[in-house]
Amino acid sequence: MTTLVSAKPASKPNPFAGLKVIDVDTHWTEPVDLWTSRATGAMKELVPQVREKDGEAWWFIDGKPFGKSQHSSCIMKDGAKLHGMGFWDLKFDEVHEGSHDVKARLKVMDDMGVYAQIVYPNVLGFGNTKASAFAPETRMAATTIYNDAAAEMQAASGGRMFPMALTPWWDIKAAVKEIRRCHAMGMRGINTNSDPQDAGMPDLNERFWDPLWEVCTELDLPINFHIGSSQTQNSWFGGTPWPSHGKDQKLAIGGAMMFFSNARVLTNLIFSGVLERFPKLKFVSVESGIGWIPYLLDSLDYQCEELAPESMSYLTMKPSDYFRRNIYACFWFERKGMREMVDLVGVDNVMWETDYPHPVCLYPNSLDVTAKTLERFTSAETKKIMSANAAGVYNIAV
């Protein structure tokens, strides 16, 4: 059943007054003309665009239907939050302007008490994974046009919205070139595919990817692995739910299990030796929570010692030490045992997010809810979690 909750955050004093709060995971609903308004020549007909199919709006790419035009927002025009599956059917003009308009988003941020947001895409996939289905020229044009639009959004926000650049991961030379271009436009981090082997590329363990790690180290750009950032992970349902479950149940089960998909990514990353060779790289596990991390780190340390004491000699530290030096994670809905969880994960490795305006976002009254969660934390620890850690990772002046 679909229900609505209150439209606006309650009018209460900001519990984090004096802090420039940074929300490290939000999304935007790409305007339907994002690509067509910027493409030129024949590419205008090939880049992502919305057309009618069987009486409904669909995204078309390379002249072929790519997926129903869903706007990935559960925030209604009046600011009310829609629960359940009803968000699938919302039209562009039914979702709140803050889902896609910079000025309206800044107003939402002000109302929420948020200073800055890290912003992720929808249409091309969280790790630009869907682009692999396009013709080579189209996928490159779609990527660079998106990054141009993202840089424009960042500038229009006055440096409060920071979209992460999409990477053309299918071409390592093009990826390095595009990362340099995006950095020159002021962008503060990248998205990339966590499982390029799904598309016939080497996996991230291979030295093939060293130029990517090198340029991100040189430019001090964090590499973000948002859940669902590969072909393996890009289904909300995945293969986790049993076939007999209904659509609502499958979405809830698949959505919860997606968090753990990043455990696999981080484990392979640590064991790959990438963090040994590139000690200054910064990786972020996005929209995956933190509660599972202490168990994973304990398990990795134990399994490494018990099962691979000699073959792991290329690592000079324990897996948990690489995590605490190079990897960051973020939470939003978790409540129970947060004090203990943060102590185990490391207060310097934890950031805060809302996932606005996606269906599981922490909205409304996001900061009031989080203040309750952080009651047992010192002011210095709270500052790290809500602002300083993200400012350091994404080079945001606070």
3-state secondary structure 7-50: CCCCCCCCCCCCCCCEEEEEECCCCCCCCCCCCCHHHHHCCCEE
pLDDT value of position 369? 95
Q: What is the DSSP letter of 88?
A: G
Pairing of strands 223-226, 190-191: parallel
pLDDT value of position 240? 72
Angle at 28 between CA 24 and CA 29, to 5 degrees: 160
Q: Residue 213: beta bridge partners? A: none
Q: What is the DSSP letter of 127?
A: T
pTM of this prediction exceeds 0.75: yes
Q: Which residues contact 115 (CB under 8 A, 6 or more apart)?
A: 19, 20, 21, 22, 109, 160, 387, 398
Q: What is the pLDDT of residues 266-295, one digit of tens each?
A: 999 999 999 999 999 999 999 999 999 999
CATH of 4-32+97-394, one of 3.40.190.10, 1.10.10.350, 3.40.50.720, 3.20.20.140: 3.20.20.140
Domain ranges of the chain: 4-32+97-394
Task: Point out the residues of the chain with pLDDT beneath 50.
Answer: 1
Nearest to 227 by CA among 142, 345, 353, 334: 353
pLDDT value of position 1? 44
pLDDT value of position 162? 98
Pair 315, 273: CB distance under 8 Å: yes
Distance between CA atoms of 285 and 320, rounded to whole angstroms?
15
Distance between CA atoms of 193 and 187, rounded to whole angstroms?
18
